[in-house]
Structure 1
Amino acid sequence: MREYLLTILAAALVAYVLTPAVRRFAVWFGAQAVPRDRDVHVIPTPRLGGLAMFGGMVAALVLASGLPEMRKYLGDGEVDVGKALLMSGGLIVLIGMADDRWEVDALTKFAGQVAAAGIFIMQGIQVYVIPLPNGESLSLPPAYGVPLTVLVVVATINAVNFIDGLDGLAAGVVGIAALALFSYAYLLSKSNGMTTLSGATLTAAILFGMCAGFLPHNFSPAKIFMGDTGSMLIGLLLSASTIMLTGRFDPAVLANGLFPFYVPLLLVPAVAAVPFMDMLLAVWRRTNQGRSPFSPDKQHLHHRLLELGHSTRRAVLIMYFWVGLLASGLVGLALFDAAWITLGVTVTIALAGMLLMLLTPWRRRRGTVADRAGSGDRERPAERPTMPV
């Protein structure tokens, strides 16, 4: 655990310290988000926050390469995790910087995402096996494993990119997802007597540190946005950790049945259920309207929360709550034998959260109507005529 804590701290600290400098560079570089009709912010805000997050990732990898026990999981095995993250992450950052400054077309970004997935495959990060219901593993030949890997990488990157619409939303959601992946891999390895050091666990730890260090600058009111530079980068690392965790645990040695074997396949879709669902709804909505699936609008889930009467901060915290609940529920089911108790607690908390989410804006609207009704009985002061300016 000491090695992981050091890498988390390095990623968080460097990302936090670099962000103000990156903000000044973004202003000089001209990479600022000008408010649009579909945006929530009302003043130009610098982008390129992902550049500071990339710096945190590099610092964490450098530190990990200096730790004797961790070094072998960065390049001495069949999977060169350090090289894969640096090369693919660097490519994604370059494309993201160009998009944050000049708005690159969707096809170019898609090609860059596929190329980043190709770098993963060349460095050994690939879906090699998938679990079967009978408890066995199905080995995938390259003809199936390669396109499946590309699909996972591209889908995860775009899902994270779709949810990056409110201050602190993407960084917090992905940070929770990374923490869930880290907890699952570390605790399951420890409880089954396996080594807790792995490239997948290290990637999740670095990703959590990057998001934690950047979030103080990005939470509402945001001083800087991560931009496509950041959203594509953290989506890339999230997919890398998921792919490496798939098939890592042999169901024959797991003490809690077959379910933990499926968690890597379920965890990211669960914790990313909000962005994935938002992405699918957006594609369906836009294609039905005869528009491109990539054309922007203001009908994402976080926009709908604002329409219900929630503030920006409360809308973000609501998304955090649901992602955290789904993630902790899955991890709990994988680690504890009392599945029905875990499921019951999760459902109870979910119902309570749903009730609070619906009642809070209703009570606020009711109070506002009552205040307006009360103020209507009082005499209003006479309005002064205004002179034209």
Structure 2
Amino acid sequence: MRIYLLVVVVAAAVTFVATPLVRVLARRVNAVTPLRDRDVHAVPTPRMGGIAMFAGFAVALLIASRTDFLGDAFTISSQAWAILAAAGLICLLGAADDIWDLDWMTKLVGQILCAGLMVWQGVQLITVPLFDSIAILSPRMLLAITLLVVLVAINAVNFVDGLDGLAAGLIAIGGTAFFVYTYLLTRSTESDYSNLATLVIAAVVGACLGFLPHNFFRASIFMGDSGAMFLGLTVSAASIVVTGNIDPGASQQLTEFVGFPAFLPILLPVAVMVVPLIDLVFAVVRRVAAGKSPFAADGLHLHHRLMARGHSHRRTVVILYAWTTVFAFGAVALAFLPLRTVVIALTVVVVVGIVLTIVPLPVRRTRPRASSRHVRTAERPPAESPRPETRV
């Protein structure tokens, strides 16, 4: 556990220190998010913060590779190096979009190439956990599913990245729950507690924690596509490593002796990404139904709708944090508590959460100049822009 905590601290420290340097670089290369009708920020803000996040992630992994405890994760297979390389490439792709506003087709092709690199080096689903068994599919089917999982995760995080601190906080919370699960899963099935998925998600959580002080309301820098796509790829990679490589015998052992439900390996990644995934599904359905491209940006995301109901910027972020906490840690609770207890507790919490989400509490306004712009922007959704989705 101490080595994993070291990974978190190193990733957070490097990201925190590197972010001001990246902010200066972003201004020099004009990677600045302008004021658009659908945005909620009040001043042009530099983006490209994903470069700092990748720097923290990379340094943490490189240090881990030199330790006795985690060194085997880098020598037994090439998966760790493939994830690191793919994360670097997709961060560069996102940085290019932050600077030059690439079209959606170029970004999609780049995302497929980055995902393909990981698959080529073995980061691929081998089995698919079902509710009561482990499914073994054909190699082509598993390849297609793996690519789809990575692409969905990348674009889900990209779509939800629309408020200060939102995407980084959601991934930090969901990633912490995922870390708890993978660590306990490893301790329950292996004598060696080192695990690639746990290492990757620890570094991702650390990068998010190091970036949040610069990114929470009011943000001095945005993560941009370089950060959103980086987070989506790395979280999906960790999910694939732990979800799609479960031995059927180990799964049976967990179910019988430890209490882990057989369907938890496939439920938890969905629970971790529940807010971005819901936002992605609604956005795609909404835009396709209107005859538009799924990548055409608009001002009707979940955070826009919450602000339109009267929630402040900070409160909207906290509400979405809370929903991620409920579902991510609720899924992990299935490993420790009886199913009935978890379901009853989640039902109560969800009902209370729905009430607090739908009925906003009064907001005390002391300086309306910034908050009024936020509320006005959310209450009056603008016409959709033809530009592809970047920072929504």
TM-score for the superposition, normalised by structure 1: 0.88
2:125, 2:241 within 8 Å by CA — same for their partners in 1?
A: yes
One-letter amino acid matched to 2:120? M
- Give the C-alpha shift of residue 218 in structure 1: 0.5
SS in 1 for 2:135: strand
Cα distance in 2 for partners of 1:190, 1:69 equals 14
1:171, 1:211 within 8 Å by CA — same for their partners in 2?
A: yes
One-letter amino acid matched to 1:339? L
The one-character-per-residue Cα deviations of 1:183-231 (angstroms, maximum 9, x if unpaired) are: 1011233245643211111111111111111011100101100000000
Report whether the alignment pairs 1:46 with 2:46.
yes
1:302, 1:315 within 8 Å by CA — same for their partners in 2?
A: yes
1:185, 1:196 within 8 Å by CA — same for their partners in 2?
A: no
Task: Provide the residue aligned with 2:9 in structure 1.
Answer: 9
Report whether the alignment pairs 1:34 with 2:34.
yes
Task: Provide the residue aligned with 1:226 in structure 2.
Answer: 223
Task: Provide the residue aligned with 2:196 in structure 1.
Answer: 199
Q: Tell me which structure has the larger Cα radius of gyration.
A: 1
SS in 2 for 1:22: helix
Percent identity of equivalent pairs? 44
2:129, 2:265 within 8 Å by CA — same for their partners in 1?
A: no
1:127, 1:140 within 8 Å by CA — same for their partners in 2?
A: no
Report whether the alignment pairs 1:351 with 2:351.
yes
Cα distance in 1 for partners of 2:343, 2:206 equals 29
Shift of the 193–68 alpha-carbon distance from structure 1 to 2, 3 Å rule, reads closer
Report whether the alignment pairs 1:190 with 2:214.
no
Task: Provide the residue aligned with 2:127 in structure 1.
Answer: 129
Report whether the alignment pairs 1:59 with 2:59.
yes
- Give the C-alpha shift of residue 256 in structure 1: 5.6
Task: Provide the residue aligned with 1:139 in structure 2.
Answer: 136
SS in 2 for 1:70: coil
Cα distance in 1 for partners of 2:301, 2:130 equals 35
Report whether the alignment pairs 1:288 with 2:289.
yes
> 1:1-389 alignment to 2 at 5 Å?
1-74=1-74, 76-78=75-77, 80-135=78-133, 137-192=134-189, 194-246=191-243, 247-248=245-246, 250-254=250-254, 255=256, 260-333=261-334, 335-361=335-361, 363=362
Q: Which segments of 5 or more consecutive residues in structure 2 lack a partner in the other structure?
A: 365-392
1:251, 1:257 within 8 Å by CA — same for their partners in 2?
A: no
One-letter amino acid matched to 1:49? G
One-letter amino acid matched to 1:167? D
- Give the C-alpha shift of residue 358 in structure 1: 3.3
SS in 2 for 1:261: coil
Cα distance in 1 for partners of 2:33, 2:131 equals 48
Cα distance in 1 for partners of 2:287, 2:62 equals 43
One-letter amino acid matched to 1:3? I
Cα distance in 1 for partners of 2:175, 2:297 equals 28
The one-character-per-residue Cα deviations of 1:243-298 (angstroms, maximum 9, x if unpaired) are: 00114352221146785332231122223222212112111211222221111110
1:256, 1:336 within 8 Å by CA — same for their partners in 2?
A: no
1:167, 1:218 within 8 Å by CA — same for their partners in 2?
A: yes
SS in 1 for 2:128: strand
- Give the C-alpha shift of residue 83 in structure 1: 1.3
- Give the C-alpha shift of residue 364 in structure 1: 5.0
SS in 1 for 2:124: coil
Q: Which segments of 5 or more consecutive residues in structure 1 lack a partner in the other structure?
A: 366-389
Q: How many residues align?
A: 360
Shift of the 8–257 alpha-carbon distance from structure 1 to 2, 3 Å rule, reads closer
Cα distance in 2 for partners of 1:260, 1:179 equals 20
1:126, 1:243 within 8 Å by CA — same for their partners in 2?
A: yes
One-letter amino acid matched to 1:159? A
One-letter amino acid matched to 1:117? A
Larger mean CA deviation between 112-121 and 140-149 belongs to 140-149
